């Protein structure tokens, strides 16, 4: 993938086609994207200008350095003709582009593997990994949170990146004629909420409050020894036994036999997500609210209509419970992608 050596204007169609793009609509502020990026990179440096305003190509382009090898460029206006050339939907008037190495697994994903976002369909010869994998995961997470779409870079992304020195011009032309690879992650796919707090709620207190929100809440159960092993050195033996961890379950019987339950696991956590670590020092108490469907199918790339409807309903109930946990514990909530979730976004 073109990097610092690439002399093309980052707004050119050729440059955009060679990079993974986050597609923005007219209503979304670019600052909303950067605010979420800073959840993953709390020390995100101030942006620098890498391309001045141009009468044909649009406003200046800024660069945010994510890591030593990855940068985010944008926001860049995409004219109508360029949108057609790139195969973008009409609403995608602006983009952020990802500049990073092209790191792929050396072998195709196994036949049984199904990436929840469908990446295995776009990269049948080898999934993105290492730097590209991490950076692309961030772009997909942004798209999920903001209800956007990612355009994956054309393959091969650049003549210099071709693996065979004998690659022909016809191979490049064939790649240019291939349809755009658009990935729209399901915003409802990630249901779980993680609440980090300095306060420990005793099992009877949490159960009482969860009952007030959802009368289905069941008696607390202890966390398994396997789950405790990684944080055992943090637990003061003089503390009450309940500090070893426990869980509260909320069965979802009214949603049908496939709905399963919501589990609220409570444990002391040492490793904090970046968005939390920048505002609180660990260890903290983790309240992990997760939906467990009866058939363990929630992370399949495609759900049937019934389970998709159940997932939406389960997510709404989980958010109400998470909102109560945040209020009770003065906690900080993050979603499955590591982005902060404000109290007003919960039930």
pLDDT tens digits along 237-275: 434 444 568 999 999 999 999 999 999 999 999 999 999
> Is 293 among the domain residues?
yes
Domain presence at residue 188: no
Q: Give the domain extent around 119.
A: 13-183
Q: Is 131 inside a domain boundary?
A: yes
User: Is the domain of 167 the same as that of 47?
Assistant: yes
Per-residue pLDDT of the chain (347 residues; tens, 9 = 90+): 544 456 678 989 999 999 999 999 998 999 999 999 999 999 999 999 988 888 877 788 999 999 999 999 999 999 999 999 999 999 999 999 999 998 999 999 898 888 888 898 899 889 999 999 999 999 999 999 999 999 999 986 454 544 455 555 555 565 556 678 999 999 999 999 999 999 999 998 998 888 888 877 776 766 555 555 554 444 444 344 445 689 999 999 999 999 999 999 999 999 999 999 988 887 999 999 999 999 999 888 888 999 999 999 999 999 999 999 999 999 999 999 999 999 999 97
With CA atoms as reference, report the closest residue to 275 among 338, 217, 323, 222: 338
Residue 143 placed within a domain: yes
> pTM for this structure?
0.84
Looking at the structure, tell me whether residues 27 and 173 fall in a common domain: yes
Q: How many domains is the chain built from?
A: 2
C-alpha–C-alpha distance, residues 146 and 318, integer Å: 20
pLDDT tens readout for residues 51-106: 888 887 778 899 999 999 999 999 999 999 999 999 999 999 999 999 999 899 99
- Flag whether 123 is in a domain: yes
User: Are 115 and 160 within one domain?
Assistant: yes
200 and 99 share one domain: no
Residues 165 and 243 in one domain: no
């Amino acid at each position: 993938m073109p990097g610092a050596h690439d002399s093309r204007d980052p707004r050119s169609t050729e440059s955009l086609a060679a990079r993974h793009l986050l597609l923005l609509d007219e209503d979304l502020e670019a600052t909303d994207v950067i605010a979420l990026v800073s959840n993953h990179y709390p020390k995100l440096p101030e942006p620098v200008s890498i391309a001045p305003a141009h009468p044909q190509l649009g406003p200046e382009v800024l660069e945010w350095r994510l890591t030593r090898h990855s940068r985010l460029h944008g926001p860049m206006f995409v004219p109508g003709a360029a949108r057609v050339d790139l195969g973008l939907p009409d609403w995608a008037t602006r983009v952020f582009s990802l500049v990073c190495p092209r790191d792929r697994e050396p072998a195709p994903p196994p036949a049984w593997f199904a990436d929840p976002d469908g990446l295995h369909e776009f990269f049948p010869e080898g999934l993105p990994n290492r730097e590209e994998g991490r950076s692309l995961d961030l772009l997909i997470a942004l798209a999920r949170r903001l209800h956007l779409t990612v355009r994956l870079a054309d393959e091969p992304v650049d003549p210099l990146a071709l693996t065979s020195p004998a690659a022909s011009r016809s191979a490049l032309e064939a790649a240019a004629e291939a349809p755009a690879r658009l990935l729209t992650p399901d915003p409802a796919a990630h249901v779980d909420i993680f609440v980090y707090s300095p306060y420990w709620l005793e099992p009877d207190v949490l159960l009482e409050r969860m009952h007030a929100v959802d009368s289905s809440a069941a008696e607390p159960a202890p966390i398994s020894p396997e789950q405790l092993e990684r944080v055992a050195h943090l637990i003061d033996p003089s503390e009450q036994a309940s500090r070893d961890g426990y869980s509260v379950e909320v069965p979802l019987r009214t949603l049908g036999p496939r709905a399963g339950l919501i589990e609220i696991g409570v444990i002391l956590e040492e490793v904090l997500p970046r968005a939390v670590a920048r505002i609180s020092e660990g260890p903290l108490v983790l309240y992990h609210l997760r939906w467990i469907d009866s058939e363990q199918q929630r992370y399949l790339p495609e759900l049937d209509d019934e389970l998709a409807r159940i997932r939406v309903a389960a997510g709404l109930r989980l958010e109400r419970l998470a909102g109560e946990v945040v209020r009770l514990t003065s906690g900080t909530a993050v979603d499955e992608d590591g982005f902060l979730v404000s109290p007003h976004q919960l039930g």
